[in-house]
Amino acid sequence: MDRVLPCFGWHPWFSHQIIDDQESSSEAAQGASDLESKKTHYQKVLTPAPEDEEFISSLPDPKPLSQFISETRERLLSFPHALVGEVGLDRAFRLPKAWTQQEAENRNVQITPGSREGRKLSPYRVHLEHQKAILKAQLRLAGELRRAVSVHSVQAHGAVFDAFKELWSGHERRVPSRRERRRRLSVEGAHAESDAEDEQVQKSLKHEGPPLPYPPRICMHSYSGPVEQLKQFLNPSNPSDVYFSFSNVINFSGPSSQKVIAVIKALPEDRVLIESDLHTAGQQMDDLLEEVARQICELRGWPLQEGVQRLADNWKRFVFG
């Protein structure tokens, strides 16, 4: 177990199951345990607002956001290196249809309620603003405990960045001018290159002071956004270090692979991560990791051994700081 780092977070596909009791509404105060408040909640967060009583009753009773955050905080404190995730925003997903009686009797009860499990999809999606409220609460928790975060983003890269920016507001890094850097070096008697000294300053800022409302490190997992958006995520004034991970399952299995190749080639070498994006551990996961590691090394022109070491170093820095 020493080699396993858990992650704790609420995925956007299940965000409708959380009731935002940060708002002082009567609906939130009731805890949404009775059918009427449950119906009110789901009609508020789903679009189109469902009128099907059978569908609404098939959904889990929503959990208060404050309760979920409290439980997650305890889990994170129990595992000092655990990450927050997978969290994020998703414009594309739709809720699955209600179970038939036979399906409900035969389903695997160990799987998170609300998973698709082969069901057809309903027309219902979760309002992006509700997803965003759940995301930001978890990002704040990660900042409070200074944990790294894995972020899911589907057709929502701009909205995800806006969520980060709202939490970063007022905490942006001040990027010293070259003259200021020279003056500091002169005073300290140091002679490091500007990139190295900037890194040292940023590193010291990350580990000092009280908890902040944003995570210190963020991974855009299986990133599928455009290369042009990298400038936003990698702006030197951003107080979080943003990494980008890639997987064969998502990034190299469709027509968008050329866009991904351009992103991989454009990224700073110290912000590239790999993953399997697989739901099970074992040989298949290992094989997928090897495949994507080889692809990244080839695209970046890295010798394999050197590239694998670089990717490992990036992962350690992302997880541990």
Tell me the pLDDT tens digit for each residue of 96-118.
998 777 777 778 877 777 777 88
State which amino acid sits at residue 267: L
What mean pLDDT do residues 285-299 have?
95
Q: Comparing C-alpha atoms, which of 66, 77, 12 is closest to residue 211?
A: 77
Tell me the pLDDT tens digit for each residue of 140-172.
999 999 999 999 999 999 999 999 999 999 999
Q: Which of 24-33, 122-131, 139-148, 284-293 has the lowest mean pLDDT?
A: 24-33
What does the alpha-carbon distance between residue 234 and residue 291 come to, in Å, rounded to a whole number? Answer: 27
Q: Which of 16-30, 132-146, 239-253 has the lowest mean pLDDT?
A: 16-30
Q: Is the pLDDT of residue 304 over 90?
A: yes
Tell me the pLDDT tens digit for each residue of 182-202.
676 666 554 444 555 555 545
Domain locations in the chain? 1-23+37-101+118-173+211-215, 247-320
